[in-house]
Structure 1
Amino acid sequence: MAQLIGVDLGGTAIKLGRFSLDGELLAELEVPTPQPTMPGAVVIAIVEAVQQLDPERLASCVGLGLPGPMDAAGRVARVCINLPGWEQVPLAEWLEPQLQRRVTLANDGNCAVVGEAWQGAARGYQDVLLLTLGTGVGGGVLLGGRLFTGNGGAAAEPGLICIDPEGPPCNSGNRGSLEQFCSIGALARQSSLTPHELCQRADAGDPEALAIWQCYGRHLGVGLSSLIYVLTPELVLIGGGLSAASHHFLPSALEEVEHRVQRESRQGLEIRRCALGNGAGRLGAARLALDRLLHV
């Protein structure tokens, strides 16, 4: 029986899953992302991880999610602003001879929203905005039930919208982007604690930790407000590693959205955490491989 492999490349970890054609997880693996995250080192790590995950070569194709826009054909990583050396990298062309399988590429946020639409919290919804909060801030958009990638495949980079024109510089060339206020690095500017430690402190009622998460939520709410005005989604999903602390920051984000967005533009809107957690990206990557490489 044909199977699929989905790969989610992040700044600190590469998450892989082997799936049946109906999305059942059959095997999984997580390996560290090489540091520095140069393309050649990542190719080696992915090839070794896929061979470990699927030694009997049961999967016929691979979907790979990366933090940045791809070309329209899903063959070239055009740029990954938080990974060094990632500009116009023909990653599918490099991987296919070594994996001896067809490969397709997609933005990791796009993969996450496709995964949630297939097996998670976005099932049955037509207009969805998903944000991934982690090393960077990414995201994906469904409009009318279809993945929105815009002109040339580069649309839906919600983390790069500006929320403070005088804010910290962003690797994109922008200043004060949402990513500069809602990424792991943004939290590090406010606290020496890791996000996990900060969440634990807040769980224990530490006032300083609670205040940091509340401020984080306000910034997230400001960014969401602009995105909601443009997209008017039915559903906003929050994913990525930092979503584990969503119980601390979503209330202030929701308050900001209610304050800033007129009622007509948020009618029926739901905002909640992803159902699949960090597994959404690899599942969505596998689904895109199914749609692009097997359903042809």
Structure 2
Amino acid sequence: MDPSTAERSPLPQAIGVDLGGSAIKLGRFDAAGTLLAEAVCPTPQPAVPGAVTTAIAEAVAAIDPDSRADRVGIGHPGPSDRTCRRARIAINLPGWRDVPLADWLEPLLQRQVTLANDANCAVIGELWQGAARGSADVLLLTLGTGVGGAVLLGGRLFTGHGGAAAEPGLIGIQPEGPPCNSGNRGSLESYCSIGGLGRLSGLDPRELCRRADGGDAEALAVWQAYGRLLGIGLSSLLYVLTPELVLLGGGLSGASHHFLPAVWEQVEQRVLAVSREGLRIERCALGNGAGRLGAARLAFERLAPLRLG
């Protein structure tokens, strides 16, 4: 769609925000999922709640100066409460425990706000316009600074009775392994995040992928070892969830063509055929745009138009 035409869209609009440890990504969408405007701004360092709140408010004002969007969805690291208004904890951001982010932002934005785990937003984005379209039972893993995740069961987000369910990166795969910020040891995140990959190789992930693309045997061996660890953790998750689709997102998913064979080797070795029947394991289709799209979709689903005055 031509941008000038998009700006005149008669459909309701929402802003989706994807809060990350290093960047805040925003998109303004109409109810058909058309991207009307976008922006990226750095996450304040340290990423304490007050500074992040101010940064989000300023970024939303910049991307929507005429207040065409009347609602905002925000994806953040870690779980939200069941009211979708408080960020309960973010183990990789300082000071994030029971932060009433929606309450803080609404008077600043003069828009309704809803919150969700960032990986939950990503899987909703993929369900709406990406690789999960037409799928009902989906597990998504985000492989990056941490290992996040989200679960769809019967086409609906699974968040558990307190809103904190579906943190697959925090499951243990090695009892005496490296400490995790969650308090666990040997978590999937400890081994399959960027930091975990760094224990296997001192190379930057992009360089490691570049060398593997060129056939470098040492680089290929590192990705095989990484895939083995990921496959071990995924095997336990498959027994619990038996999804039809596993989606891999995050920066490390760009090297999935190097590590997926090792993942499949572990899955086929460790998981009964009946628990992986029809299983597909694929990369996310929307890349870094899935989170903000899904956050906007949740804002459309959860929030009614705001009436001021």
TM-score > 0.5, shorter chain as reference = yes
Query: Aligned pairs, how many?
Result: 296
Aligned residue type for 2:278: G
Say which of 27, 34, 58 aligns to 1:48. Answer: 58
Cα shift at 1:89: 0.5
Runs of 4 or more above 6 Å deviation: none
2:80 corresponding residue in structure 1: 70
Q: CA RMSD in A?
A: 1.3
Q: In the alignment, which residue of structure 2 is the partner of 1:8?
A: 18
Q: 1:83 & 1:101 partners in 2: Cα distance?
A: 25
Instruction: Tell me, yes or no, if structure 1 residue 180 matches structure 2 residue 190.
Output: yes
Q: Given residue 156 of structure 1, which amino acid in structure 2 is its aligned partner?
A: A
**Residue 229 (structure 2) pairs with residue 219 (structure 1):** yes
Moved more, 271-280 or 191-200: 191-200
CA distance in 2 between partners of 1:87 and 1:146 (Å): 26
Alignment of 1:74-85 (within 5 A): 74-85=84-95
CA offset at residue 268 of structure 1?
0.5
Q: Give the 3-state SS of the residue equivalent to 1:294 in structure 2.
A: coil
Determine the structure 2 residue equivalent to 1:164: 174
Tell me the secondary structure at the aligned position of residue 134 of structure 2.
coil
Give CA-to-partner distance per residue, 1:220-245, whole Å, 9 cap, x none: 10111000000000110001111111
Counterpart of 2:144 (choices 134, 137, 142) is 134
Larger radius of gyration between Structure 1 and Structure 2: 2
The AA in structure 1 aligned to 2:79 is P
Tell me the distance in 2 between the aligned counterparts of 1:286 and 1:60: 11
- Answer with 227-236 or 248-257: which moved more: 248-257
Identity %, equivalent residues? 73
- The unaligned stretches of length 5 or more in structure 1 are none
* The one of 189, 204, 217 aligned to 1:194: 204
What's the CA shift string for 1:5-37, capped at 9, x where partnerless? 101111111111110101111111111111111
Q: What is the CA–CA distance in structure 2 between the aligned matches of 1:96 and 1:208, rounded to whole Å?
A: 52
Partner in structure 2 of residue 111 of structure 1: 121
Among candidates 135, 144, 153, match of residue 143 of structure 1: 153
**TM-superposed deviation, 1:257:** 0.6
CA contact 2:248–2:283 (8 Å) conserved in 1? yes
Change (3 A) 1:295 1:141: farther
Q: TM-score, normalised by structure 2?
A: 0.93
Choose the corresponding residue for 1:261, options 263, 271, 278: 271
Deviation of 1:192 after TM superposition, in Å, equals: 3.0
Identify which of 244, 261, 274 aligns with 2:254.
244
Cα displacement (A) at 1:190: 2.9
Which one-letter code corresponds to 1:34 in the other structure? P
| Match in the other structure for 1:270 | 280
Cα offset for 1:250? 1.2
- Output the amino acid matched with 2:38: E
Deviations 1:84-109 (A, max 9, x none): 11011111111111111111000011
Whether 2:130 is the aligned partner of 1:120: answer yes
Hey, what's the Cα distance between the residues in 2 that align with 1:197 and 1:48?
A: 35
Q: Deviations over 1:180-214 (max 9, x none)?
A: 01111112233332211221121122222211111
Q: Structure 1 stretch 193-202 or stretch 139-148: which is displaced more?
A: 193-202
1:204 corresponds in structure 2 to 214
Does 2:307 match 1:294? no
SS in 1 for 2:72: strand
Q: Which region of structure 1 is more displaced relative to structure 2, 13-22 or 186-195?
A: 186-195
